[in-house]
Structure 1
Amino acid sequence: MEKEKYKFPQDFLWGGATAACQIEGAYDVDGRGLSTSDIHQYNDQLDRIRYRKKLVENEHTSATLAAAVADQEGYYPKRYGNGFYYRYKEDIALMKEMGMNSFRFSIAWPRIFPRGDEREPNEKGLQFYDQVIREVIDAGMEPIVTMFHYDIPLPLLTEYGGFKNPQLIEFMVRYAKVLLDRYSHLVKYWIPFNQTNLVQYCSFKSLGILRDKTENLIEDQYIAIHHQFLCNAQIKAYAKKINPEIQIGIMLADCTYYPATCRPEDIVFAMKRIRMQYFYADVPLRGEYPGFMLRYFKENDIHVDITEADKALLKENTLDFLAFSYYYSRTLDSQKNTMDPASISENPYLKANAWGWTIDPLGMYNAISQYWDRYQKPIMIAENGFGYEDVFVDGTVHDDYRIDYLRQHIQAVGEALQDGVKVLAYLPWGPIDLVSSGTAEMSKRYGFVYVDLDDHGKGTGNRFKKDSFAWYQRVIASRGSEL
């Protein structure tokens, strides 16, 4: 007798994930201010392979920031996105056609508070999201909203120094309260900060730290992260008061590691590096700083002012779920690598795409399992996907490579569900092609829908279904049993 195929739970959330700074465009419309993402210039004069694999993304000093703002000639793709601001109804209709019952998107902070420090929000900005959220709900999809996804209003950097300044707690929480007051009856799932642990790649766009405005970058990063932890707790406290049904989550970029060998030194080194990533979830989900992190601060002369009031706030307002992005696994060699989060080794057993991202669906199963065993909190796969230079021919893309990648990763999620893990959602990244976060390319495509724009923003912007569109439609309709 043939084994019955496993079906995902009836209430499982099948969807897709995006970010305002990579899809919306309309950077100068209806009072929106400039953000950290708006000054990421696309540069095709650089060596393409080295540029794509560059680890430090879009970091700035005061001078380079001012130059980018003043630049009238360079092309800054995130100012234009894929045109979602004007085509959101079309895009949401395509997602509905695929059968998605959820959609993760972000609200652009500078569209609501153009400077970031205003007392009153920009009503025109809110009206745009009134329409988007209503369109998502009317399409039968659960909105999953990220409050801040790499788009800090620029004055919060130039005038306040970013999240290392405790004043940004006030500004972020004020912004969050505006969103919760307006949408708490419509949106259940909220993620205050995107990929809060990726400080090694994006101190600028995630923490708002300018390289010439810090004397101790690592210390300032941890101070800024502490302030974001306090924002999380204050947002959770407020959400509980206005609607106990609201769920507030922490989001990580998965950075679990494999030891390069079974040498005890490699095993222990990988464990220590993994714990340094777990730290970013330990505090908001467990409500306190782990001992290994306090030891790390002491041994590295890092000073973070954690008051008794802070400790109480964190302990009393732990978050509700863990969301994480998973694209590829990482490997460590204790004889070659350091404690720097960006220091990794190649895995000889895995293939990689053109951006150096290894293809490892078992790594997804490993990550889900490790997080569940540690936290016992509901999990969302908030991002997963395969960036590739698609070939557009005769109105479509034959993307078997994407289907194969996603099939194997969905199978990994199914394995975790059968283990008893409470996985709430699978939200592949960029269901409709968007601008790359790391390299500002359009040619690094993830979507089930092709967008006719090139790396310089030229093209019609029209949408075309790839082969993976019909495939994902079947997957959802069969609740994951037809892969």
Structure 2
Amino acid sequence: MLKYGVILACILSISLGAKTFPENFLFGAAGASYQIEGGWDEDGKGLSMWDVYAHTPGNIKNGDTGDIACDSYHKYKEDVALLKQLGLNVYRFSISWPRILPNGTPTQINQAGLNYYKNLIKELKAADIEPLVTLYHWDLPLHLLELGGWLNPRLADYFGDYARIVFENFGDDVKYWITLNEPGTTCTQGYEAGIHAPGLNLTGEAVYQCSYVSLLAHAKAYHIYDTEFRAKQGGKVTLNLACGWYYPQTESEEDAEAVRRSLDFNCGIYADPIFKGNWPQSMIDRIRERSKLEGYSFSRLPDFTEQEKSQINGTADYVSLNMYTSRVVWHISDYPIGPIPSLDLDLSVGSGVDPSWPASASSWLFSDPPGVRYLLNYLRDTYNPSEFVITENGWSDVGDLDDQGRIAYWKGYLSNILDAIVDDGINVIGYTAWSLLDNFEWAEGYTQRFGMIQVDFNDPNRTRTLKSSAKWYSGVVSTGQIDP
């Protein structure tokens, strides 16, 4: 009788046009160490480049820092209880490299740091919540920054030593790993624009060297897991991609090419080496040609050796995708060859937004829900990964409890992700919304709030309060469906 009841329910669901997420779909939320933990100088933790950058006057709005943030270093049990209350079954968090290795090297391992993450993972497992762990979410140990940071190819070896220690200590309980979060943001904002740590404005050169070193570091960690831990631990490892979708301003071939170039420079810069073995050809050609015209005897885009191509190619067991917004782009044909090269000059693309798209509190974030479906189809067709997890997708406001803008944003994006699964056959297995908590939003400090849970940063106890979006999202999780 039960069997026929299930069949009838399915028929009714289909007849009513309802779509349902797969039964084992991973619904969760996300956060990152520097943005939520606090405890910046407690229990043997070393300094990170974000500790120093945030403490430098003028770098962060209102002089905010992550010294206390959400105080999740002390309140992790409360965070896990909230995840469980909402019915979530996966939590994406990152490990603070200097909390484990105070100077970034294996010469000193901080047991208190290991204990913190062991206790967090234990708490998650007891609540039947899957940990999805990011090894690096931007808080580079200061010592390694002083050795050249993401411009130093040796950083790949340091990262490998760190990854091995993390895999050894936590890998039996972690099945989903991300090596680096949004390396493109680190490279563009930290080394090209200079508005994130380490605050360097080395345009047109450091951004590509940073990307090169990031890929080497990712591949190093991937192969350490593959050869030393996979057989016993059975997990999956990937690099995180932060990609947007792009629309041509006109139907011209030039603007169509601007779309392709935007995808290459912003997404393919990491996806192509991992899935195809080299940089996108458009990047290779354009940067080489512009470098030559600028007087260089070499391309500003580093060449991979054949060994490096082989090491990087194939190092993704799934796609971790951060997707927030879309852009309208057009070709610019008259970007000059000037005395100072830059990423923007190499790309030669203008960009804007459709005026009909709702805007968030962030100057860069606009809501275009269909973009995520277009992007998933593009990534599937271009790279053919086995599966996707949407690891960041969110909306900023000023912290209102009745956050209807966030609900509208998530409803639109989740609906399009569901369409991609059901109608397009794309294997999206999970979604970790950004973010669980209001937190330290990098250069914006606490002026922008992405959380589904409000944190009172004026209260020493950092009181947490569910917003309307948390209750709405919990309903989606419990039913597997999105209300019209």
Query: 1:222 pairs with 205, 208, 221, which one?
Result: 208
Shift of 1:311: 2.3
Whether contact under 8 Å (1:384, 1:427) holds in the other structure is yes
Match of 2:383 in 1: 375
Query: Is the partner of 2:182 in helix, strand or coil?
Result: coil
Distance 2:357 2:334 in 1: 19
Whether contact under 8 Å (2:50, 2:197) holds in the other structure is no
Amino acid corresponding to residue 399 of structure 2 in structure 1: D
Match of 1:53 in 2: none
- 1:23-38, aligned counterparts within 5 Å? 23-38=36-51
Distance 2:384 2:24 in 1: 19
Whether contact under 8 Å (1:146, 1:191) holds in the other structure is yes
Whether contact under 8 Å (2:49, 2:142) holds in the other structure is yes
Pick closer, same or farther for the CA change 1:336–1:329 going to 2, 3 Å.
farther
Amino acid corresponding to residue 168 of structure 1 in structure 2: L
Whether contact under 8 Å (1:108, 1:148) holds in the other structure is yes
Distance 2:143 2:167 in 1: 24
Pick closer, same or farther for the CA change 1:440–1:206 going to 2, 3 Å.
closer
Pick closer, same or farther for the CA change 1:337–1:121 going to 2, 3 Å.
farther
User: Is 1:295–2:302 an aligned residue pair?
Assistant: no
Match of 1:186 in 2: 173
User: Is 1:125–2:149 an aligned residue pair?
Assistant: no
Query: Is the partner of 1:78 in helix, strand or coil?
Result: coil
Query: 1:16 pairs with 29, 34, 56, which one?
Result: 29
Shift of 1:475: 0.6
For structure 2, the 5+ residue unaligned runs are 1-11, 292-298, 336-342
Deviations 1:262-319 (A, max 9, x none): 222211122112122212111123333343333234222315252232123223x521
TM-score, length-scaled by structure 2? 0.85
Pick closer, same or farther for the CA change 1:337–1:390 going to 2, 3 Å.
farther
Distance 1:360 1:452 in 2: 30
User: Is 1:313–2:284 an aligned residue pair?
Assistant: no
User: Is 1:324–2:314 an aligned residue pair?
Assistant: no
Deviations 1:56-105 (A, max 9, x none): x87xxxxxxxxxxxxxxx84421211111111001111111101000000
Pick closer, same or farther for the CA change 1:102–1:337 going to 2, 3 Å.
farther
Deviates more, 1:443-452 or 1:424-433: 443-452
- 1:377-456, aligned counterparts within 5 Å? 377=385, 378-391=387-400, 397-418=401-422, 419-441=424-446, 443-454=447-458
Pick closer, same or farther for the CA change 1:76–1:349 going to 2, 3 Å.
closer
- 1:247-258, aligned counterparts within 5 Å? 247-258=236-247
Whether contact under 8 Å (1:150, 1:206) holds in the other structure is no
Deviations 1:10-53 (A, max 9, x none): 1111000110010000001011112122234499x99xxxxxxx
Whether contact under 8 Å (1:219, 1:304) holds in the other structure is no
Amino acid corresponding to residue 369 of structure 1 in structure 2: N
Distance 2:24 2:477 in 1: 12
Pick closer, same or farther for the CA change 1:481–1:210 going to 2, 3 Å.
closer
Query: Is the partner of 1:420 in helix, strand or coil?
Result: coil
Amino acid corresponding to residue 327 of structure 1 in structure 2: Y
Match of 1:345 in 2: 352
Query: Is the partner of 1:25 in helix, strand or coil?
Result: coil
Query: Is the partner of 2:216 in helix, strand or coil?
Result: helix
Distance 1:336 1:256 in 2: 22
Deviations 1:143-199 (A, max 9, x none): 1111110101112122x1112112211111100111111122110111111112222
Amino acid corresponding to residue 78 of structure 2 in structure 1: E
Shift of 1:336: 8.7
Match of 1:461 in 2: 462
Aligned residues: 444
Query: Is the partner of 2:361 in helix, strand or coil?
Result: coil
User: Is 1:234–2:220 an aligned residue pair?
Assistant: yes
- 1:57-76, aligned counterparts within 5 Å? 75-76=63-64
Pick closer, same or farther for the CA change 1:348–1:264 going to 2, 3 Å.
farther
Shift of 1:219: 2.5
Pick closer, same or farther for the CA change 1:343–1:266 going to 2, 3 Å.
closer
Deviates more, 1:96-105 or 1:325-334: 325-334
Match of 2:253 in 1: 264
Higher relative contact order, chain-length normalized (CA < 8 Å, sep 6+): 1
Sequence identity percentage:
29
Amino acid corresponding to residue 436 of structure 1 in structure 2: E
Distance 1:121 1:42 in 2: 25
Deviates more, 1:294-303 or 1:259-268: 294-303
For structure 1, the 5+ residue unaligned runs are 47-56, 59-73, 392-396
Whether contact under 8 Å (1:337, 1:344) holds in the other structure is no
Distance 1:367 1:352 in 2: 20
Query: Is the partner of 1:185 in helix, strand or coil?
Result: helix
Deviations 1:372-426 (A, max 9, x none): 11112111111111111133xxxxx222222111111110110110111010211
Deviates more, 1:333-342 or 1:136-145: 333-342
Match of 1:478 in 2: 479
Match of 2:8 in 1: none
Match of 1:167 in 2: 154
Whether contact under 8 Å (1:15, 1:103) holds in the other structure is yes
Distance 2:407 2:472 in 1: 7
Distance 2:182 2:66 in 1: 18
Match of 1:364 in 2: 372
Match of 1:87 in 2: 75
Amino acid corresponding to residue 361 of structure 1 in structure 2: P
Whether contact under 8 Å (1:6, 1:480) holds in the other structure is yes
Match of 1:66 in 2: none
Match of 2:296 in 1: none
Distance 1:337 1:150 in 2: 35
